[in-house]
Copies of this chain bind each other. A is one copy, B any other.
């Protein structure tokens, strides 16, 4: 059975919608999609560092549309591992675990990996929105579209825009 590594922020969690809402609450700045394109989150959101370190941010992230059904489909067909960059933000660890337990109860604790870098996690397929994670991955690379990667054109990546597309191709 093939092993598939699934990212959380920007793939299972709609972290952009969440960041936009938090930024507006924090600074009164309402960012739109076009202002975000091609910029990493830390560059695009003035309050990023404060927001991602605030208690409850990751615990209350909205779930990406159709991701529950999509991940459940993958979980029945592949060996799924949820691989999330989390150790940079200590509070995010237990929040992300609780978030997964709430929204994706069919994913067990045995399928969760919280790390700093994804370089050393083995798998056959990786779904991620960040080039830094997909770049060195030796398997099949699926790029989930988010504003920060919107301008990237790389033939080694398969770009998807929705979970429906993921289900259609895997």
- Chain A residues close to B by CB (< 8 Å): 3, 81, 86-88, 90-91, 93-94, 97-98, 108-117, 120-123
Contact = CB atoms under 8 A, between A and B. Distances in A.
Contact of A122 (B88, B114, B121): B121
Contacts of A94: 90-91, 93-94
B114 A114 contact: yes
A93 B120 contact: no
B111 A114 contact: no
Query: Is chain A's binding surface mostly helix, strand, loop or mixed?
Result: mixed
Copies per assembly: 2
B120 A3 contact: yes
Nearest to A120: B122
A9 to B, nearest CB: 16
Contact of A120 (B81, B87, B98): B81
B97 A108 contact: no
B117 A120 contact: no
